[in-house]
Homo-oligomer: A and B are copies of this chain.
Amino acid sequence: MYWKPFNINCDFDSGVLTPPGNLVVRHLSDMKGFYQDAEAFTTLLGQNPKIYEYYNVIIPEEPGHLQHCTSILMPGRVGDEYFMSKGHFHKKTDTAEIYVTYRGNGILLLQTPEGHCEYLHMYPGSMSYIPPYWAHRTVNTGSNPLVFFGVYRGDAGHDYGIIEENGFAKIVVEINGIPTVVDNPKYKQK
């Protein structure tokens, strides 16, 4: 009748959950069209590095429950552009998410449905509040894995399509050795 309370073990350094729940791995080959530099993308595809993975605790997709996961985003670049997650809106667009960063350094890109883009820094101890309606993408700007906890309403769901098609209005690139947020030259709000 009632869902049973349970513990999951989290290693804050690696982000590994035990038991692992549902582990999802994204390699470079899963992200065709996401990066600016097509030539650098094709070159790196030979190695097809792992870009990120996340451990999803298995929870009912219901509004009274809370989905939660750890994500591990690898350090690296495609050309000048740092490794990043695909990014998504929630299917239930009016639901929030929280990221608590355990390790590494990164940038969290956020965007409204109208294409207004903001960003927050991620660092050990940052708790980033992603309010309802904002799409979100994480970018690893450091030299270590970016490890963070994420939590959102059980029925929030994911909509990857809009971002896959349009991208974010901003990208994060290395300029003179410095992670820099710049306008996305390919971005067109539809």
Contacts and interface: CB of A to CB of B under 8 A. Distances in A.
Contacts of A112: 2
Contacts of A3: 131-132
B127 A5 contact: no
A64 B185 CA distance: 33
B5 A110 contact: yes
Give the oligomeric copy count: 2
A6 B129 contact: yes
Contacts of A57: 127, 129
Interface of A: 2-12, 17, 57, 59, 63-66, 68, 92, 94-98, 100, 108, 110, 112, 118, 120-121, 124-134, 149, 151-154
17 contacts: A2-B112, A2-B132, A2-B133, A5-B130, A6-B128, A7-B127, A7-B129, A9-B125, A9-B126, A10-B127, A57-B127, A57-B129, A59-B129, A65-B96, A66-B96, A68-B98, A100-B149
Top 9 nearest A-B pairs (CB, nearest first) are A3-B131, A64-B94, A64-B132, A8-B127, A66-B96, A10-B125, A5-B110, A64-B95, A65-B96
